Structures are given as C-alpha cells and as structure tokens.
C-alpha cells in the first residue's frame, strides 16, 4: 500500500519524496547496466552498512551474473548532520585483491565517507573499483568522485526511509521521505 502521508520520527516531520515504485525502476536500470558491463567478470559487491541494505537487496535480486557480496560498516552521521569523521565499524581486507569491485552506497553528500573508502580500498590492489549510489547530493560534494552508477541526484535535504535513518529510526519505510 502506498503511503502519501507525512511521517514523524522523533522530533521531526518528513514528507513523501520518492515512492518505492520509482526507486525500484531506477534500481532496475542500474542492474541492467551492471549486468551488461560486468559479463564474465564475477564482480564483488561491497555493501556499505547500515543504510545501503535495502538498495543492495533490491539490486542483487536483479543481478544475473556470477557475483559475490560482502558487507562493511562505516558511519559519519550524528543525527541529521555529518560529523566529518569516519568511524570504521568493520572493514575489508585482502579479499578485494584482483577483484572487480562495485561499492553499493545509499547516499553520497559531502563524499567524505566514499573518499575515505576509495583511498583505503586501493591499498588492496583491486582489478577495478566503481561506485553505485542510490542518492547523490551533488551540490554538497567536497571531493571529486568518479561515480559510475547514480540512482537519483537530489537537493540538499535530509531524507529517511528505504534504509536511510534519523538517529537509527526510519530505515524500514518502503518510500523515501524528506525533512519538511
């Protein structure tokens, strides 16, 4: 059932922004590109937790390639603001060497987390590294990042739902909501 109503999380009100059908349609387009571009390459998908779990799940259901997925956890948010500091809760290692890596990220705003991740992954000598992000706040980027797969370019508004949260709450919504 589609919910067109505002939601409240803790002390903030959020309004519908992108509905699930639109999310799934865009994810399908990304999957088609990856399936075409990674034929016979056995890519390793790296899902950045926690926010990317829904994106990764729906994308992987449409990947028709021999592939693997692993999960890492990085965080930089406190409430609705980025702290600018990366906290690595569990990371990666030599299992990325000589592999074609596709990093799955929920949202890139300043690019701080992705810049950190890309620099650190290179020390393991992957065959290639690409990024697939569901959301990009292009106007907020502090780094020049090469992002191959972008679901949606969005304005600088705080969003929740479909894996994204506000202080740990709101990840479970099937649609995406923006701060009102």
CB 34 within 8 A of CB 58: no
With a CB cutoff of 8 Å and minimum separation 6, the contacts of 122 are 129
Q: What angle do CA 95, 69, 124 make, to 5 degrees?
A: 25
CB 44 within 8 A of CB 34: no
Active site residues: 109
Quick one: DSSP state of residue 109?
S
First to last CA, the chain: 22
With a CB cutoff of 8 Å and minimum separation 6, the contacts of 179 are 12, 13, 14, 80, 157, 158, 159
């Amino acid at each position: 059932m589609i919910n067109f109503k505002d939601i409240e999380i803790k002390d903030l009100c959020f309004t519908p922004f992108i509905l699930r059908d639109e999310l799934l349609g865009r994810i399908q387009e990304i999957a088609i590109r990856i399936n075409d571009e990674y034929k016979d390459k056995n890519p390793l998908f790296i899902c950045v937790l926690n926010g990317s779990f829904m994106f990764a799940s729906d994308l992987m259901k449409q990947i028709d390639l021999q592939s693997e997925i692993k999960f890492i956890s990085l965080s930089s948010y406190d409430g609705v603001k980025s702290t600018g500091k990366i906290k690595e809760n569990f990371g990666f290692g030599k299992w990325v060497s000589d592999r074609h890596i596709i990093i799955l990220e929920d949202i890139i705003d300043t690019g701080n987390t992705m810049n950190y991740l890309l620099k650190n992954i290179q020390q393991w000598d992957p065959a290639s590294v690409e990024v697939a992000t569901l959301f990009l706040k292009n106007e907020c980027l502090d780094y020049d990042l090469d992002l191959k797969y972008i679901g949606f370019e969005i304005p600088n508004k705080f969003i929740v739902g479909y894996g994204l949260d506000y202080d740990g709450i709101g990840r479970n919504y099937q649609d995406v909501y923006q701060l009102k």
